[in-house]
Structure formats: C-alpha cells, structure tokens
Amino acid sequence: MPEDNIDKINFEEISKSAISKPLVSHIYTADPSAHVFENKIYIYPSHDIEAGIPFNDNGDHFGMKDYHVFSMDSIESETADHGVALHVDDVAWAEKQMWAPDAAYKNGKYYLYFPAKRADGIFQIGVAVSNSPTGPFEAQKKAIRGSYSIDPAVFEDDDARHYIYFGGIWGGQLQKYRNNKYDVNNLEPSDIEPALGPIVAMLSDDMLEFAEIPREIKILDENGEPLKAGDNDRRFFEASWVHKYNGQYYFSYSTGDTHYICYAIGDNPYGPFTYQGRILNPVIGWTSHHSICKVNDEWYLFYHDSSLSKGVTHLRSIKVTKIDYTNDGKILTIDPYGLRRAME
C-alpha cells in the first residue's frame, strides 16, 4: 500500500484489520532495530519529524535529528520511552538526517551505529557509546573510517565476532560507490546487469572501526546467478538485517520501490545468500524497514507503517508481529493487514 494509493485507503478499516497496533503513538518512529539486552526488549528506531522539506527521491524530507530508545518488559507489555539518546548537534562530524540506526553490546558497553550526512551532503556511519542500553550515547569524534551510505545493522555470530552490514541505493548513495570508492558519475547498473549488493565488514575488537576492507554481498537467484538490477521485486534496495536460524544465516532487506521485505539464506555471514521469498508484503507508506529478534524462543518481526499519520510517508510508527517458519526453514509471508500465508 505505497503512498500513491493513499486516497483509496480506509484508515479505520485498516486499523481494525492490522495485525499490530503502533508500539509508540506520542511521537513518530520508524526503522526499528530490536534486541534483547539484560532480559528486556530494547528498540532503536529513527525518530520521524515534520521537517518541512519537500518530497523527493533522495529522501530529503526524512529530516530526522535525534534518536530515542524504547524498551518493553515483554512482547505484550507497554513500550517505555527513555528519551533522547543522541542528537545530531552532539555529533561533531554530522550535519543532518539521522537515519535508521542499530545497536550492539560487548564487554559491558553498548554501541549505537547510525548514518548521517556530513556538511558536504555525503552519508557516513558513526558510532556512539554508552554504559546503558538506553543511553545517553557519546558519539566518537569522527565517522567510522571507510564507512559510507546508510542503514547499519550489526550481527553478533556464535563466536562473538560482530559484523556490520550497510548500504542503500537512491538517497542512500550506494550507487555512487564501486569497490568502496565514491564517484559522483557512478549510476545504478542497467536492468540486465547484476544489482548492487549491500556491504559487510567485520568490526574491530573495540567495536569502533572496521577490522577489514568492506566487501559487497552477492544475492543469488534460484540458478545461482546474481539478481539483476531490473529485478525490482527481489533485488536489494536498503534495510539490511541478519539473523541466524537453525545454523543458517538469513539476510533480509527491503526492495524499496516495490515495497517488499525479502530474505535470502547463506552458510556464512559474508554470503553469498540465495533468495528465498518475501517476509512482509507492502505497508502503508513508501518505505519498509524491519528487524528480526528472538524473544523467549519465539521470533518477531519489528517493522513500521504510516497508518497512524494516515499515510504521510515520512511520519511512521513502529509495530511488531510474530514470525512463523516452515519445517524446512522458510519464513511464512506476512500481510500487515490481516492475512498470513505460506510462501509460493
């Protein structure tokens, strides 16, 4: 239900049939990264505001300035707002657009990873540190060396190594990079060429830098060939996330302009990952962004839509619903407004 169909939506009926109510209603929130820390659920979303910036394909109207951290004692409990955890004014290298963040824990410290634009309009990824999962977080003086684009997501493997995934095309600027180098003349590949993949790098022991040169991830089709740039229903657009289920790595992501959350499976954190299907059908609003979190032996999808704002695409609300797997490890596709169905 992307924005071009807003006039046809009955929001009262949608509210009745939706499988989740907004977890937060006093402010607008999006891009929820959920984790269980200290036996509680913590959610690290974007904080949507009405910035007064005209809509465009680069997402300039997403003019967020800070992050709030939220917690839940259980999946059914009320959501507590712990206030501002980090503001753009407290990030020396960043000027604007505090987009989708993620968080991680190691050795008694909590780390908030976030993208923002420098004064020259180029996105980088920064990291801020706290002794508490709710912050406040203190940002490092410089962005992570060698970082670029948007949507950082950190995955901790069974051996306690941490990997950071990032990247997004269009406003996320990933199409301007090849082999980690920026060139303003670079464009998206043609429809028949391999699609641009997300980027991954292992994090350093102190969680503040890349431990290696970032590399591109390949997402393959059923024949083992990279998905093509023109395969808009399946190719990567933004919103990387990785979780591990029954010993396999699940890489999930948004297809952007076709509004699906899809997933692919691989046998190591670097991929390649083979496309499997859709996790979430389109939501109200243009964007779709998610995380997947295990809570008390059950798996949950945290996501957002724009139903609370009656379809304003940059004023979103975070939600949650249970994930179901088939016996062979496939994820059942979720319709956000009432229908759950098996993969075809």
Annotated catalytic residue: which of 31, 48, 102, 231? Answer: 31
Annotated catalytic residue: which of 48, 238, 297, 305? Answer: 238
Q: In angstroms, rounded to a whole number, what is the distance separating the alpha carbons of residues 213 and 89?
A: 30
The encoded tokens of residue 202 equal 């292992």
From the centroid of its chain, how far is CA 142?
A: 22
Cα torsion 143, 144, 148, 154 to 10°: value is -120
Active-site annotation holds for 31: yes
317 neighbors 304 (Cβ within 8 angstroms): yes
Active-site annotation holds for 238: yes
186 neighbors 178 (Cβ within 8 angstroms): yes
Q: What Cα–Cα distance (Å) separates residue 161 from each residue in 165, 204, 211, 233, 269?
A: 13, 9, 11, 32, 10
Nearest alpha carbon to residue 176 among 150, 151, 203, 213: 150
Residues identified as active-site: 31, 238
